[in-house]
Structure 1
Amino acid sequence: MSILSRLFGRPRDDEPPAREPERYKDYDIYPEPVRDGSSWRIAARIVKEVDGELKEHQLVRVDTLDEETAAVDASIGKARQLIDEQGDRLFD
């Protein structure tokens, strides 16, 4: 299964359940690392309500880590960095 189909397709039975978001500034960060062979690819979904509408940005990095917990932490860190650098321009 390709990485894109894993990111945007139906969840598989062996995939972990969705995690609770982490709140950062006015954004919700959903860490969603993707299994890539024996490693985990850094990925997260960044969500914010803007003018009553939910806006969403999908963050996917080529970086991989050996442990899922490390990938979750790195996904949150990269999402925070992106929020700090771009703010609401993420949704343009």
Structure 2
Amino acid sequence: MASMLKDLWNRFAGGGNASVHEEPAAEAVEYKGFRIRPAPYSAKGGFQTAGVIEKDFESGMKEYRFVRAETHPSKDEAATFSVTKGKQIIDEQGDRVFR
């Protein structure tokens, strides 16, 4: 359990071979004034749900990076699901996601 948490932290913090900082799998999707950039990465025989939510404000662009537990057999499936998760986060939290 501890090694799994350490691995997740390293990926989120930018360490390790795969991270949320990899190039997005697909173009950004506009949704309710936000941009969702899917960024799945290879993990344990599949692709991890991950992405970036961005929004432009007067003070500049803000972003929120997310990683979820779901894995998928292909990068395209993970990218599609990452967009779905991004929309869910936006619907639930809106601008609060950037706090």
CA distance in 2, matches of 1:83, 1:53: 19
Q: How many pairs were matched up? A: 85
TM-score (ref. length: structure 2): 0.77
Task: Among all aligned residue pairs of Structure 1 and Structure 2, give the percentage whose two residues are the same amino acid.
Answer: 31
Which residue does 1:73 correspond to in 2? 80
Q: What is the match of residue 52 of structure 1?
A: 59
SS of residue paired to 1:81? helix
Q: Distance in 1 between matches of 2:59 and 2:29?
A: 20
Structure 1 spans left out of the alignment, 5+ residues = 12-16
Q: 3-state SS of the aligned residue for 1:7?
A: coil
1:28 aligns to 2:40 (yes or no): no
Q: Does 1:61 align with 2:61?
A: no
Matched-pair contact (CA < 8 Å) for 2:20–2:39: no
> Which letter does structure 2 place at the counterpart of 1:23?
E
Which amino acid letter does the alignment assign opposite residue 70 of structure 1?
E
Alignment-mate amino acid for residue 27 of structure 1: F
Runs of 4 or more above 2 Å deviation: none
Unaligned runs of 5+ in 2: 1-6
Q: Measure the CA separation in 2 of the matches of 1:33 and 1:71.
A: 6
Q: CA RMSD in A?
A: 1.7
Query: Aligned AA for 2:19?
Result: L
Query: Match for residue 14 of structure 1?
Result: none
